[in-house]
Amino acid sequence: MDVAFESLTQWLSQHQEWILIAIAAMAFLESLAVVGIVVPGVALLFAAGTAAGSAEVEVIWVLLAAFCGAVAGDGISFLLGYRYHEVIRRVPPFKSHPEWIEKGEVFFRKYGLMGIVIGRFVGPIRPIMPLVAGLMQMKPTSFFGINMLSAIAWAPFYLMPGYLIGASLESENALSGRHMGFLIGMIFSGWLLAQALWWCHDHIRQRRNKLQLALITGCSCLALFIMVSQLMQLDQLVELNHRFSLWALSLRHHWLDGFFIGLTELGYRNAMTLWGALVAIAILAQRNLYGATLWVGTILLGQTLLFGLKDWFAWPRPALVAMPPESYAFPSGHTTMNLVFFGALAILCLPGISGKRQKAILSGLCILVATVAASRLYLTVHWPTDILGGLLLGGLILATLYCIVLKRPFRTIRPLPVILATLTAWGVSLALWVIPRFQALSDSYLPVSLI
């Protein structure tokens, strides 16, 4: 089997014009009812992703091919179940394996719409879930909406590991130990933050003690923020900032450029405004005015503090890329607002999720925050002290929000509408403001030494 996958990778590398078609076809088959159980789709996609990375195919087209194939496969499976729900249980192989559908039905009844999202990442039931949704007469508009949104996350989850390995195998574009150290440090720092937050949540149970900890955390963040804002002006720290930025500039890599540019662009005003508005609507749709007020108020507090503090300190950015952002550097707005957004979502939505999944979700959110912060360092549009200042300012804002909800609790917010709003905002932002302008954006982040 390993020989077959290796042969497939070599064949695709020699016939690069077929790589995108192969990825779309493999994603289609892996998503198709029954066929996805038999076909080793995950391994095939890994092999195709490796070939794409080795051939330096643009990552956006790789992900788009996988997205289209998966949506088509799931769509056909759903329509088969929706149209032939009365007879499909009596035809092979479901007649001899009724447990396939039964497991999917139990999963669907337990998780509802969220089951479509979760099912994408659970191997044994993945090819069955769209068929089961059709059998249970789920509304087509609801299915296709959640299916397309979840495919946005599915495509990079299955393709990027192989793509990254393929890119690293090319001698001219190999990812060095410095690249891997940067990426591992980025992920580990987010994971470590999540572990610390979870330990506090799990070991400090009384509301009064939680309130005291939130107050101490907020005061500590404020004191450290003031200290950093003063220390960053010392010649020694200025020199360290500059040396780190030059080191970060040396990390530039074709694949990493595309990933970090796309990610960092989702943190600018248009995309963040859309995200904030859709989440507010999702909370208001649950008739939770207080929850929506907390959400919007936290965002406005963060933006107000950022505007004022950036102009107050007027700290210049690194002049290492072709077109650095026009605003001042300290504190990092991307770091602050992504921490505020993800942190506020955690505070407002995690109570509506079962305890077994809370820790994993918190870890994912913290890793996302760390990744956004790392993108600003990688693209050399911020100094390390800007990132630290952004984290401390975001921590202060979240500590304030947590104090408020401890003093005046809110009604539990259902997380699924908020997740859908978030995925919709990201998808629309990519379609409107990132993909059409990607080449111009890439040029703006070019190191000045290459111009």
The residue with greater pLDDT, 33 or 246, is 246
Q: Which two tokens stand for residue 403?
A: 């104090």
**Tokens coding 190:** 């987010």
The overall average pLDDT reported for the chain is 84
pLDDT at 94: 61
Tokens for 244?
């780190």
Tens digits of residue pLDDT in 305-322: 999 999 999 999 999 998
Query: 304 pLDDT exceeds 80?
Result: yes
Q: How far apart are CA 47 and CA 26, in angstroms?
A: 10
Domain boundaries, the chain: 2-165, 175-450
Residue 196 has pLDDT above 90, yes or no: yes
Mean pLDDT for the stretch of residues 278-302: 95
**Mean pLDDT calculated for residue range 344-350:** 93
Averaged pLDDT, 348-359: 81
Higher pLDDT among residues 389 and 358, named by residue: 389
Instruction: Please give the Cα distance from 336 to 332 (Å, whole number).
Output: 6
- Average of pLDDT values for 413-442? 89
Record the tokens describing residue 79, joined without a space.
């329509």
**pLDDT tens digits, 207-248:** 899 999 999 999 999 999 999 999 999 999 999 999 999 999
Q: Which of 24-33, 248-257, 410-419 has the lowest mean pLDDT?
A: 24-33
Neighbours of 360 (CB within 10 A): 12
DSSP secondary structure letter of residue 379: T
Mean per-residue pLDDT, 66-86 = 81
Residue 70 to residue 76: CA distance in whole angstroms: 10
Of the chain, the percentage scoring pLDDT greater than 70 comes to 82
364 vs 382, more confident: 382
C-alpha torsion 369→393→429→175, nearest 10: -40
447: helix, coil or strand? strand
Q: Which two tokens stand for residue 113?
A: 């719409």
**What local confidence, expressed as pLDDT, does residue 16 receive?**
66
Helix runs in 170-253, H state only = 177-203, 207-231, 235-249
Mean pLDDT of 409-423: 87
What 110-113 contacts at long range (C-beta under 8 Å, 24+ apart), as own/partner pairs, is 112/416, 113/142, 113/146, 113/416
Q: What is the DSSP string of 144-159?
A: HHHHHHHHHHHHHHHH
Contacts 24+ apart (CB under 8 A), 183-189: 186/367, 186/370, 186/371, 186/374, 187/367, 187/370, 187/371, 189/370
Q: Judge whether residue 171 has pLDDT over 60.
A: no
Residue 419: pLDDT band by 50, 70, 90 thresholds?
confident
- Of the candidate ranges 1-15, 34-48, 358-372, the one whose mean pLDDT is the lowest: 1-15
Q: What is the DSSP letter of 18?
A: G
pLDDT of residue 302: 96
Residues 150 and 420: their CA atoms lie apart, in Å, by 9
Check residue 338 and give its pLDDT: 97
**435: Cβ contacts below 8 Å, ≥ 6 apart:** 60
Asked whether 317 and 381 are in contact (CB, 8 A), the reply is yes
* 51 pLDDT higher than 50: yes
The alpha carbon of residue 321 and the mean position of all alpha carbons in its chain are separated, in whole angstroms, by 25
- In the chain, % of residues over pLDDT 90: 45
Exposed, middle or buried: residue 415 (CB in 10 Å: 0-12, 13-18, 19+)?
buried
pTM of the full structure: 0.75
Strand partners, 447: 321
